[in-house]
Structure 1
Amino acid sequence: MSKTKLAVIFYSTYGTNHQMAEIAAEAARAAGAEVRLLRVTETAPQAVVDGQDAWKAQAEKTSDIPEVSHDDLLWADAYLFSAPTRYGSAPSQLRAFIDTLGGLWSQGKLANKAVSAMTSASTAHGGQEATILGLYTTFMHWGAVIVAPGYTDAEIFKTGNPYGYSHTQGAPFDESVRKVIGHQAARLVDMAGKIAG
């Protein structure tokens, strides 16, 4: 039996979602998946990025991580998206990439793929659930199979989010957080295997 192929796709301005994606990728590998860690192309003008030290540092830190392409989505059996909340929605950088996928979608090439999402915001009620649910609406249009974590692990009761892990900016990446992200990634790998089965 071949390994489940998982694309962990992230956009991260200051590093939170990059860290979440790294934790998820590690957990997915431990669950037996072949993983590609991929970043979404930055669409903000370089002058804007360079004007904020933390943003510029994060861009430099992740410059060696491949940018996600259509070929990656064709390759993968499953997708895990991680991106911050921007005014209750996914950031424009991720939406811009999604907007290029019409050709794949119209051919049914995104259908029947297992998919899940994670996000972050600066406050606990800063739009995390709206961001994840908005992404899930897009995935429903693809015909993808949404694999939310639900309350399928006791640790999730500590985060209070059955839709997908959401991180509040500045909170520590403690053992509980790692368990919740790891559980979501492992569940996605397991369900993708069953779908492909």
Structure 2
Amino acid sequence: MTNVAVIYYSSTGNVHRLAEAAAESAQKAGADVRLRKVVELAPESAIAQNEGWAAHAAATRDIAEATLADVEWADALLFGTPTRFGLPAAQLKQFLDTTGGLWFQGKLVNKVVSSFTSTSTTHGGQESTILALNNTFYHWGAIIVPPGFADPVQFEQVNGNPYGASSVSGNQAGNVHPDNLASIAFQARRTTDVASALHRGFQAA
């Protein structure tokens, strides 16, 4: 069985919704799946001032936090983040910065990785966020799997792209279009399939 970890950061729930859809799709594709959120770095006072942020934090308090053991366990990883000025959120970046020990030991080589995001506006940095996030995985020696235009859903989605599934929230908590959920489902399935094929290939070599 292929091990898939979906690791994400979400403040008001949009990336969380995409992450849930990714985990569900990977499970349907036959993977053993872990859904994990990264540690929140923002102070409680900041969270409390935003109703949607506070509500999402309370609703997802029971979701396990990501650890390096989850990264080492996974054959494939899907990482999700909202955009912050066209870049990944600090919370996810901080977690990735802790993977140096695994990188040094060569334990991240040939991990299959894919990325997804959510922004407030249509041109709010979807592509730049995913591209910036993927820079880490080049250093890992990972195999990056984009959705591309490899499925009809990629032509139907409202605001996605071939780099990775993305949604536009319009600053509304949990506002993810069904087309974007279909896109991340395809992306997770494709990532799982590539990881499974790669695993079989290595076993046969």
Q: Same fold (TM over 0.5)?
A: yes
The reply to whether residue 38 of structure 1 matches residue 41 of structure 2 is no
What is the CA distance between 1:148 and its match in structure 2?
0.4
Q: Which residue of 2 aligns with 1:57?
A: 55
What is the CA distance between 1:86 and its match in structure 2?
0.4
Structure 1 segments of 4 or more deviating over 3 A? 170-175
What is the CA distance between 1:46 and its match in structure 2?
1.5
Q: Distance in 1 between matches of 2:10 and 2:176?
A: 16
Instruction: Please list, as runs of the form range in 1=range in 2, the aligned pairs for 1:1-197 lying within 5 A after superposition.
Output: 3-159=1-157, 160-170=160-170, 173-197=176-200
For 1:129-150, what per-residue CA distance to the aligned partner results, in whole angstroms no more than 9, with x for missing partners?
A: 0000011111000001000011
Q: Distance in 2 between matches of 1:56 and 1:118?
A: 23
Root mean square deviation, CA, Å: 1.3
Q: Distance in 2 between matches of 1:40 and 1:175?
A: 25
What is the CA distance between 1:174 and its match in structure 2?
4.5
Question: Is contact 2:168-2:176 (8 Å) kept?
Answer: no
Structure 1, unaligned stretches of length 5 or more? none
Structure 2, unaligned stretches of length 5 or more? 201-205
Residues matched between the structures, number: 195
Q: Distance in 2 between matches of 1:175 and 1:194?
A: 29
Q: Distance in 2 between matches of 1:136 and 1:7?
A: 16
User: Which segment drifts farther, 44-53 or 58-67?
Assistant: 44-53
